[in-house]
């Protein structure tokens, strides 16, 4: 991408500025996605246990660690720290519990 930007700049292309803006946006979203992945993968083990559990009563033991992990994500994540994002996450947990 940098070579393309350099080429566009050297040739004084009118596409240089829009392409540069697009490149910055893509980089920003990539950083956000990497950060979200880093934090959300900490829930993976709990979701696997939730999916693999055959005993509905054993799910109660997962509530505290799941909610604690969500709180840590909310407090430490740069991007996954807004109520709308958490609503989606908690809704998915509720749907998984209801499915059991």
pLDDT, tens only, 25-60? 999 999 999 999 999 999 999 999 988 888 888 888
* pTM, full prediction: 0.76
Tokens 């969500």 sit at which residue?
70
CB 51 within 8 A of CB 96: yes
What pLDDT score does 53 carry?
85
CA distance 46 to 71: 14
């Amino acid at each position: 991408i940098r070579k393309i930007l350099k080429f566009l700049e050297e040739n004084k292309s009118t596409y240089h500025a829009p392409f540069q803006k697009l490149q910055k946006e893509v980089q920003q979203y990539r950083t956000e996605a990497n950060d979200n992945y880093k934090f959300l993968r900490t829930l993976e083990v709990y979701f696997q246990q939730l999916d693999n559990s055959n005993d509905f009563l054993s799910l109660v033991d997962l509530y505290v660690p799941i909610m604690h992990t969500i709180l840590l994500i909310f407090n430490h994540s740069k991007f996954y720290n807004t109520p709308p994002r958490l609503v989606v996450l908690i809704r998915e947990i509720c749907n998984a519990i209801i499915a059991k």
